[in-house]
Chains A and B, each alone.
With several copies, the nearest count.
Chain A
């Protein structure tokens, strides 16, 4: 394992310290328990949005704390859900008196830990559960689908509503709607290495890819030979479009997300290939996002996310945001 670190034990702490110092105008990092909050106090009456999850997906979630998006983020150990005390500490630090919306990715560990936190905090809270990964079959008697890159979109849009005065209930409804309107699927060319493990989570042959991979290196739909980008794109989009039942002439947000180890040139090439396919189907890309936003450490790979848009969603997507990883209008 080659990583910039001094010891696997201090990896997360030193990284958070650097993050806190580099962006002290936007966020503050707190330790024991580890939480990231906005550097400015919450204005009274604002619903606060708190997200969190295992580390290793940076810039998600800490990079999305700031005006117009999250109020706090709770980073767990690498690929391990945060613990209830983090969420409790975060809710105390950023309380605005109008309730707390937790944004949680659909993993047993995350759900249980956030649930315990909700039970332990005193104020009102709601939870939006993200489960956009169409690679996994949905079913109500199992855990269901994984939450992946659409989390970024939900956090941006709900963050905007909360910033502009939305109530807890309205935020919860909008969050659920964005999640329902979103589908994602990814592919990996290489594994990632969890620092504590010191070796790759999985092995791929020199010409293999993992199709439908999860953001922790979980196996996907199948292992296959690497295909040309256009074919990969078509299959990813096919699965998403079918899931979302996209109609002709619908407007969408297209999000090409890098897993951490794939250069921007390739992500833009995927965007080009996806655009060709969507153009053919008369699906209109009204908004775009391309970059490494929901990563899996240094994994090489990418995912595509589509969110169906309407006026409300476009408005909240376009509104100003000022975080370490996403910034516009400010």
Chain B
């Protein structure tokens, strides 16, 4: 079911463009979240990153998957800065390194790449579930996808489940006490606000899942 080889660099660009629309639509909310418990730049970091990735289109459409992902990773890393630059840069850098991805990518392999990527992000940021960061979205989503592959769940069902998982993870950050990232400096005052990185990650994951659901 999730084994057809269908994912090329056009998939990356198409999703980046859709993500751009969704992020722009939710920009005021994300901005506010990082102003409440961070330094207010998260939305600009994310928007700048997406724009830079989309601008890569003419270059990466002729590249192999590993090279394309690496270009994206470098662009994110150098173009965003801040926590999200390092974290999302690590995500893509790791995905680029997964073996044999230039031989064609099916959904199963794509999920493995993402799972590896999230593991690297976890190492980079040293944050786990429950610390009020994007990891509260990324780790549950990675687990959900891994389980889906193991249990060979129907792709569309898995996407729906993933959307739910991401949303739940995002919402869970609201009442958590931040122990990692800039929000941790607030101590108890960090409670009661959704983590901006969790919100942006959830929106991006939802967008990709929706786009798969709609194909």
Most chain-B Cβ atoms within 10 A of its Cβ — which of A33, A77, A141? A77
Contact A54 B81 (CB under 8 A): yes
The DSSP consensus for interface residues of chain A is: loop
Contact B77–A197 (Cβ < 8 Å):
no
CA distance A265 to B81 in the complex (A): 19
Q: Any chain A CB within 8 A of the CB of B211?
A: no
| Interface set, chain A 79-112, CB cutoff 8 A to B | 79-86, 107-109, 112
List chain B residues, Cβ under 8 A from A83: 77-81, 85-86, 89
Q: B58 contacts which chain A residues (CB < 8 A)? A: none
**In the assembled complex, how far is the CB of residue A279 from the closest CB belonging to chain B, in whole angstroms?**
30
Q: Interface size of A by Cβ–Cβ distance < 8 Å?
A: 39
Contact A109 B186 (CB under 8 A): no
Residue of B nearest to A215 (CB): B39
The answer to whether A136 touches B81 (Cβ under 8 A) is no
Residues on A with C-beta less than 8 A from B180 are: 108, 142-143
Question: Per-residue 0/1 for A120-131: is the Cβ within 8 Å of any B Cβ (1 yes, 0 no)?
Answer: 000000000000
Contact B78 A196 (CB under 8 A): no
Establish whether residues B41 and A78, one from each chain, have CB atoms under 8 Å apart when the complex forms.
Answer: yes
Chain A residues contacting B186 (CB-CB under 8 Å) are 218-219
A146 vs B38: C-alpha distance when bound (angstroms): 12
With known contacts A108-B182, A143-B180, A202-B35, A82–B44 Cβ distance under 8 A = no
Contact partner, A84, options B78, B82, B179, B184, Cβ 8 Å: B78
- A145 CA to B187 CA in the complex, in Å? 11
C-alpha gap A310/B83 in the complex (Å): 36
Residues on A with beta carbons closer than 8 Å to the beta carbon of B39: 54, 79, 194, 201, 214, 216-218
B189, A196: Cβ atoms under 8 Å?
Answer: no
Least CB distance from A267 to B in Å reads 22
Does B86 contact A218, Cβ atoms closer than 8 Å? no
Instruction: Check B85–A81 contact: CB distance below 8 A.
Output: yes
User: Is B185 part of the binding interface, using a Cβ–Cβ cutoff of 8 Å?
Assistant: yes
A113 touches B86 (CB 8 A): yes
Number of B interface residues in the complex (CB < 8 A): 35
Docked pose: A235 CA to B107 CA in angstroms:
59
Interface pair B41/A79, CB less than 8 Å apart: yes
Give the docked Cα–Cα distance between A196 and B48 (Å): 11
Interface check A14, CB cutoff 8 A: no
B185 touches A81 (CB 8 A): no
Interface membership of B140, Cβ < 8 A: no
- Name the residue of chain A whose CB is nearest to the CB of B177: A142
Q: Which of B41, B79, B125 contacts A112 (CB 8 A)?
A: B125
Given known A-B contacts A33-B78, A137-B187, A197-B44, A81 and B83 have beta carbons under 8 A apart: yes
Q: Does A159 contact B (CB under 8 A)?
A: no
Which A residues are CB-close (under 8 A) to B189? 219
Q: From A113, which residue of chain B is reached at the shortest CB distance?
A: B86
CA of A143 to CA of B184, assembled, Å: 6
A and B contact pairs by CB, cutoff 8 A, 27 listed: A77-B45, A77-B81, A79-B41, A80-B41, A80-B45, A81-B86, A82-B81, A83-B85, A83-B86, A85-B74, A107-B83, A108-B125, A109-B83, A109-B84, A109-B182, A112-B83, A112-B87, A113-B85, A115-B124, A142-B180, A143-B181, A143-B185, A194-B39, A194-B40, A196-B44, A201-B39, A219-B186
Residues of B within 8 A of A (CB): 31, 35, 38-41, 44-45, 48, 74, 77-87, 89-90, 124-125, 178-182, 184-187, 189
Q: Which residues of A contact B (CB under 8 A)?
A: 33, 54, 76-86, 107-109, 112-113, 115-116, 133, 136-137, 139, 141-143, 145-146, 194, 196-197, 201-202, 214, 216-219
Given pairs A80-B81, A112-B86, A197-B41, 17 additional interface contacts (CB within 8 A): A54-B82, A76-B81, A83-B79, A83-B81, A83-B86, A85-B77, A112-B124, A113-B85, A116-B77, A116-B124, A136-B185, A143-B185, A194-B44, A197-B40, A197-B44, A202-B35, A214-B39
